[in-house]
Amino acid sequence: MKLERVLPFSRTLLKKAVQPGAIAVDATIGNGHDTLLLAELVGEDGKVYGFDIQEEALIHTQERLKEHKLLDRVELFQKGHEEVQAVIPSIYHGKVTAAIFNLGYLPGGDKAVVTRPETTISAIQQLIELLAPEGMIVLVIYHGHEEGALERDELLQFVQKLDQQQVHVLQYRFLNQQNNPPFIVAIEKR
Ligand SMILES: C[S@@+](CC[C@H](N)C(=O)[O-])C[C@H]1O[C@@H](n2cnc3c(N)ncnc32)[C@H](O)[C@@H]1O
């Protein structure tokens, strides 16, 4: 298939948005796959801020970063992403070039702990303020579980109303696949 699949496309967007020296955010670190990618992309002069409410996620991600000797470029917080503006130092406000959210539950973890529309939307609103021009927020929306379907609906309503003078909003989604595969919404600040 020549069309890029959904998860690789999220990484393509991050690679476009994050240059060496950048400030980037992993809003849902989980097992740390995206945190690791961002740590590689920001280089030794950049910084990644990672958030997850589960201790398990921080432990797995720390291990992964240590294995790759990239822990020093990353600060991990056992806090909700809705605290992003308070956590990121004010010198970096307006300088964040990318943020990624993988919504839903931690693979292999507690399926009762899921992202929620109110906190996801609050974090997106804060991040739009924190972004540099042409900075990007990538949302990977998992909607195969009940709460995921509700979160999808609220998020789509919210992002469709964002001011086009302020941001571009893209949906990247295969329309004829079975079983509700994840899809992407990307928000780029103008
Ligand atoms: C789909 S997983 C992330 C997968 C991750 N990108 C990876 O590479 O493994 C979603 C994560 O979001 C976390 N989460 C739920 N609510 C959150 C919140 N308010 N702030 C930050 N993380 C949250 C969950 O604990 C879970 O680990």
**Per-residue tokens: 13:** 């967007």
| pLDDT for position 109 | 86
Probe ligand 1: pick from 6, 35, 53, max atoms within 8 Å of CB? 53
| pLDDT for position 164 | 97
| pLDDT for position 150 | 96
Q: What confidence tier does 141 reach under pLDDT thresholds 50, 70, 90? A: very high
Residue 137 has pLDDT above 90, yes or no: yes
| pLDDT for position 107 | 86
Supply the residue whose CA is at minimum distance from atom 23 of ligand 1: 52
Q: What confidence tier does 55 reach under pLDDT thresholds 50, 70, 90? A: very high
Average pLDDT over residues 34-43: 98
DSSP the chain: --SPPHHHHHHHHHHHH--TT-EEEES--TTSHHHHHHHHHH-TT-EEEEE-S-HHHHHHHHHHHHHTT-GGGEEEESS-GGGHHHHS-GGGTT-EEEEEEE-SB-TTS-TT-B--HHHHHHHHHHHHHHEEEEEEEEEEE--SSHHHHHHHHHHHHHHHTS-TTTEEEEEE--SS-SS---EEEEEEE-
| pLDDT for position 169 | 98
Q: How many Å lie between the centroid of ligand 1 and the Cα of residue 165?
A: 30
Atom of ligand 1 at shortest distance to CA of 31? 9
| pLDDT for position 108 | 85
Q: What is the mean pLDDT of the chain?
A: 97
Residue 25 beta carbon below 6 angstroms from any ligand 1 atom: no
Q: Could you give the percent of the chain with pLDDT greater than 70?
A: 100
Residue 33 beta carbon below 6 angstroms from any ligand 1 atom: yes
Q: How many Å lie between the centroid of ligand 1 and the Cα of residue 116?
A: 10
Phi, psi of 113 (to 5 degrees): -95, 105
Strand 23-26 to 47-51 pairing: parallel
Cα separation, 50 vs 28, in Å, equals 7
**Per-residue tokens: 140:** 């990977």
60: nearest Cα among 32, 101, 26: 32
CB 75 within 8 A of CB 49: yes
Supply the residue whose CA is at minimum distance from atom 18 of ligand 1: 80
Give the model confidence (pLDDT) of 82-135 as tens digits.
999 999 999 999 999 999 999 999 988 888 899 999 999 999 999 999 999 999
Give the model confidence (pLDDT) of 145-164 as tens digits.
999 999 999 999 999 999 99
Residue 11 has pLDDT above 90, yes or no: yes
